[in-house]
Amino acid sequence: MSVTNAFVIVSGLLSVLAFRNPALLYKLIGWPHRSSTEREYYRLFTGGLVHGDYIHLLVNLFVMYQFGAIVEMEYKVLFGENGVYYFLALIVLGVIVPNLFDLMLHKNQPNYRSLGASGSVSAVLFAYVLFNPWSKLYLYGILPLYSIVAAVLYIVYSVYQDKKGKDNINHMAHLIGAVFGFVFTLALKPSLGPFFFLFLLSFSF
């Protein structure tokens, strides 16, 4: 089984179980104050496996399924047998790194909680953009957008939602995860940088 499929299945199952069992959601949700005061550091990861509602869950897992499979394959092509381990690191750290920022920013706010695989999804999405900045995506299956444009709009929307702050969804994780996914992949293969900029400059209508 691929890393992408395993993540989608585990996150999907845990999220559905948490929807039906508030005690499980309470145990898994990202909660910087409890991570700090009670040393419940496992929440830095488990908070990225549960979601706010079915729409939040389906959007995240759909994006992960679509782009994760492509990026996982690119990693295997670039890094051979180590590719699967590097991709696993991208997925896992894509959850943990944004939640570490949450821990630093919100550890003294006992009522602040967050959840969702947004950081990991964004990390994968921006790794994909690094590989294929001008590939076309179809929003809702109809509206064509270049991947780099769709990714930027995704981040702008996330920052806007984060400023509204009316739910427990960790929207800022989109931004941090995106930066992490791009930089992590580039750090593993620095030669991708010049190719990325050449791709950008090669754009034509």
pLDDT digits (tens, 9 = 90+) for 170-185: 567 788 999 999 999 9
120 HSE (CA, 13 A, CB side) = 33
Sign of CA dihedral 42, 44, 46, 47: positive
Sign of CA dihedral 192, 194, 195, 200: positive
- The domain tally of the chain equals 1
What is the per-residue pLDDT for 198? 78
Who contacts 158 (Cβ-Cβ below 8 Å, separation ≥6)?
A: 118, 122, 171, 172, 173, 174, 175
pLDDT digits (tens, 9 = 90+) for 15-51: 999 999 999 999 999 999 999 999 999 999 999 999 9
Query: Does 153 have pLDDT greater than 60?
Result: yes
Q: Which CATH number does the domain housing residue 23 bear? A: 1.20.1540.10
Tokens for 46, please give them: 């488990």
Residue 10: give the domain boundaries: 3-201
- Per-residue confidence band for 109, with pLDDT thresholds at 50, 70 and 90: very high
Q: Is 55 exposed, middle or buried (0-12, 13-18, 19+ CB in 10 A)?
A: exposed
Query: Does 67 have pLDDT greater than 70?
Result: yes
Query: Does 13 have pLDDT greater than 80?
Result: yes
Helix (H, G, I), strand (E, B) or coil at 144: strand
Quick check: 115 and 85 in contact, CB under 8 A?
no
Who contacts 141 (Cβ-Cβ below 8 Å, separation ≥6)?
A: none
How long is the chain? 205
Tokens for 56, please give them: 């939040």
